[in-house]
Amino acid sequence: MIHVEYSQVMVVCISVLVLESVEFCLKKVTTFLQGLFGGKRYRRVMEIKDKIRELEKEKNEYHSVDQFPKIAKIERKIIQLELEDKEISLSYYITFGIPILLPIIYKALTYCIYISLIITYRHTPILSSEHLLSLPQIILLSLALPTGIEGGIGCVYVILTARMIFSHLLKRVVIRKHRKTE
pLDDT confidence of residue 154:
86
DSSP 8-state symbol, 127:
E
pLDDT confidence of residue 34:
67
Q: Which of 91, 173, 150, 156 has its CA nearest to residue 119?
A: 156
pLDDT confidence of residue 54:
93
DSSP-based three-state secondary structure for 75: helix
pLDDT confidence of residue 77:
92
- Are 81 and 49 in contact by the 8 Å Cβ rule? The answer is no
- Are 10 and 153 in contact by the 8 Å Cβ rule? The answer is no
d(CA 178, CA 94): 32
pLDDT averages per 10-residue partition of the chain, 182 residues: 81 88 82 69 80 90 80 90 81 67 86 90 83 80 78 85 85 70 60
pLDDT confidence of residue 177:
64
pLDDT confidence of residue 182:
58
- Are 69 and 141 in contact by the 8 Å Cβ rule? The answer is no
